Amino acid sequence: MKNLVKSLLDERTKSVIRSSELYQALYNKMHSSKLAVAGKRLDICANEVAIYLLQSGKDKYVLRDKICLEIGSGWLLTHSLVFYLLGAKKVYATDVYPLLQPENIFKAVCKSVDWSILDSLSTFEDREIIDLRLKKLLSLKNLSVEVLQDLGIEYVAPIDLSQKLPSKEKIDFIFSKSVLEHVPVDDVVPLLKNLVNSLSKDGFMFHLIHLLDHKNLRERPFDFFVYQQEAYSRELQSRWGNRIRRSEWKHIFSNLKHLDSRFVFEWSCKDRELPKKIDSSIQYTDEEDLRISHIGVAGEFTSLTKVNSYTNS
């Protein structure tokens, strides 16, 4: 019945419904509750951060006493909690729209496997210290905004990072997972320039960028290639993905001053058909460029004339 109703509504009607306060409140509550026992569990996020730091070539104490910025921290802030476990002095968790659901954060913590968190993160901080911090999290049944601030995690939303930053202090580590693909094309370069300018002299960043059509990731991950540029609005870019391909991301990152960046991995989607016609507004080099599904981009601040090196797995 739910799918039948959705199929009968046009995109404009769906957009009006989604933008209502009642819909947003209900959706955020239910969605965050599901994520807390699935993809945003603390142990899963700890595993992800460990993998990304390893692939970026980082080692022990990399975040101890550092200032971190998470872009698109979402409903539960579990990646930001990982940075707390790794000893971050301050974490700015940001969203372009307020999404945080504090009542479900503790579920994401207590439903996790503690030894998995310790095993994942002990490469980057002393295991005993991580264990103490994790036990502290488990003792805090109510992880409210105020409690998070006491842990050094400040939630900042709404904020458009292409226009301003949450603080004037320099940032040591910037992180995003499946966020940059939702930034409208016109805002991508201003956003990244702002981020680079905010980095400390030893600062670095990591971005996992998901390049498929988010409307139907599993069955039709390339459908958004058919839309003409004028029909693919900023709202659709934010919801389904901005359609920027791997080659264009490479060009964007390589032209950022004071950032030495590289692709640390890339994955392809080869088991789904491409549309018969690709709109001329899509910039790509070849079929493989179209099929790249994920890229991991690591970058470090440099005050010197940079030479970018891209390593593809």
Condensed to tens digits (0 to 9), the pLDDT of residues 282-298 reads: 999 999 999 999 999 99
How does residue 264 score in pLDDT terms, banded at 50, 70 and 90?
very high
How does residue 238 score in pLDDT terms, banded at 50, 70 and 90?
very high
For residue 153, the cross-strand partners are 91
Please say if the pLDDT value at position 312 is more than 50: no
Alpha helices in the chain (DSSP H): 2-8, 11-18, 21-36, 42-55, 78-85, 105-110, 114-121, 127-139, 145-150, 185-198, 234-240, 246-254, 287-291
Condensed to tens digits (0 to 9), the pLDDT of residues 58-85 reads: 999 999 999 999 999 999 999 999 999 9
pLDDT of residue 198: 97
How does residue 7 score in pLDDT terms, banded at 50, 70 and 90?
low
pLDDT of residue 10: 62
Structure tokens at 282: 């899509």
Condensed to tens digits (0 to 9), the pLDDT of residues 160-195 reads: 999 999 999 999 999 999 999 999 999 999 999 999
Structure tokens at 268: 């392809």
pLDDT of residue 14: 63
Once rounded to an integer, what is the mean pLDDT over residues 236-241?
A: 96
pLDDT of residue 18: 65
| 42 contact partners, CB below 8 Å, separation of at least 6 | 78, 81, 82, 108, 109, 112, 117, 137
**Mean of per-residue pLDDT scores for the chain:** 92
Structure tokens at 306: 């940079």
Once rounded to an integer, what is the mean pLDDT over residues 149-170?
A: 96
